[in-house]
Each structure stands twice: as C-alpha cells, then as structure tokens.
C-alpha cells in the first residue's frame, strides 16, 4: 500500500512508501542545508546521528530584566527565561549560522502550536523549489511550537532535528528541542520581552 503526503500549492512535501519490512520512508526539508532529505519517517530520521540533549535547568542569574523576559545568549547557545529571586530557567538552543546572526530587543507578538511555515521571499529566492507554504506537523521545520518575535522574520521554535541544539545552524531563528519549546511555551505570554545578544 502506498501513501503520499502533498504540501499545499501542489508542492510535494513527502512521499511515504511502505517497505517490505513495514517501515515508512519520508522526505523532510532541512532548513540548514536548504534541501529535502529522504529517509525513514520521524523517529528513524535521526538514525546514525549521535547527540546529547542539553538539559534545561534552573540557575542563578543576575539581571535587571523582570521575570518572564527571555534572554538569548547567542555565543553561549543558551536561552534564559528570567524567574523570580535572581534565578532563570536555562535551555540549550541552536542559533544563526555565520551571516545570519543578529541582536536586538523585541516582544513576542504571536504564539502558535504546530505552526505552519511560510518561507520568507529571501529564502525562496535562494531555494526556488521551496513550497509557498507547509502545514504544521512533525515534519515541519518549525517543530511543535513557535514564538514570533516582533515584526521580524525570526522565531523561537522547535525542531525535529534535536542533534542541532548547541550549534550555529539556522537562518537566524532560535531553535529548541520540541520538548523544551513546549515547556517554554507554557511559561511565557504574548507581550513578553525577548532580548537577543551576540
């Protein structure tokens, strides 16, 4: 039995075929390489890749920012959610690769669960075969949750590629594991300040 998944606007996002062993293969768009990668579906796409997830933890953190503020320390590859009493919840993150890093202060303007992805015009110019839109789901590059940062093109979002956490890998967005972005999502609100430092 053959199954196919077709993205919106006629773009084929993934083609699932059942093998003799009963395992499905799938195509996933990798934002880091700007290419479609073909392999086994969800849990097995990571086969052969070894990584040690960076565990979130509560740490001492002196800052003038009020609780609820998100501080991204790009050079550390860490995100801090400011808590009460001089503490913060620290998460491991993936950050922008060379040429895509940025800094500034903005507020969260939108939050979404399993967000759809509309590649920006600049990215579609670099990679003409990108879909105009990809619906949300486990294979979407934005992962399980997304926090939209001001009026920028950047987001704090999840990823189906947890081995990239701790690296400079993105086109400017801040990525966390799906578990960590889901946790952060429950702790922040629209209007929260996001401070990104180099």
> Would 193 be classed as within a structural domain?
yes
Least confident of 97-101, 146-150, 152-156, 193-197: 97-101
Higher pLDDT among residues 98 and 182, named by residue: 182
Nearest to 83 by CA among 102, 99, 59: 59
pLDDT-derived band at 126 (thresholds 50, 70, 90) equals confident
> Would 50 be classed as within a structural domain?
no
Question: Is residue 114 predicted with pLDDT exceeding 70?
Answer: yes
Structural domain of residue 24, as residue ranges?
A: 2-44
Q: pTM to 2 decimals?
A: 0.73
Q: Please tell me whether residues 84 and 25 are part of one structural domain.
A: no
Active site residues: 157, 173
Segment 28-42, tens digit of pLDDT? 445 545 444 444 333
For residues 106 and 81, what is the distance between their CA atoms, to the nearest angstrom?
15
Higher pLDDT among residues 151 and 52, named by residue: 151
**Residues 107 and 150: beta-carbon distance below 8 Å:** yes
Place of tokens 């996933």: 28
Domain CATH for 187: 2.40.440.10
Segment 77-100, tens digit of pLDDT? 999 999 999 999 999 999 998 889
> Would 108 be classed as within a structural domain?
yes
**Residues 97 and 169: beta-carbon distance below 8 Å:** yes
Q: Please tell me whether residues 109 and 13 are part of one structural domain.
A: no
Q: Indicate the number of domains in the chain.
A: 2
Place of tokens 């950050």: 95
Q: In the structure encoding, which two tokens stand for residue 81, read together?
A: 């959610």
């Amino acid at each position: 039995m053959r199954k196919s998944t077709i993205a919106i606007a006629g773009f084929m996002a993934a083609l699932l075929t059942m093998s003799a062993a009963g395992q499905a293969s799938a195509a996933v768009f990798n934002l880091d390489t700007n290419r479609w990668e073909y392999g086994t579906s969800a849990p097995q796409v990571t086969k052969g890749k070894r990584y040690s997830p960076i565990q979130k933890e509560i740490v001492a953190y002196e800052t003038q920012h009020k609780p609820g503020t998100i501080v991204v320390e790009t050079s550390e590859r860490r995100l801090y959610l400011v808590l009460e009493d001089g503490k913060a919840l620290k998460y491991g993150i993936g950050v922008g690769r060379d040429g895509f890093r940025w800094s500034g202060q903005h507020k969260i303007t939108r939050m979404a669960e399993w967000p759809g992805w509309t590649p920006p015009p600049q990215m579609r110019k670099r990679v003409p075969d990108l879909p105009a839109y990809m619906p949300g789901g486990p294979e979407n590059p934005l992962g399980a949750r997304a926090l939209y940062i001001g009026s920028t093109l950047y987001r704090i979002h999840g990823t189906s590629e947890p081995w990239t956490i701790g690296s400079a890998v993105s086109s400017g967005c801040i990525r966390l594991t799906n578990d960590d972005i889901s946790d952060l999502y429950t702790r922040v609100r629209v209007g929260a300040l996001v401070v990104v430092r180099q």
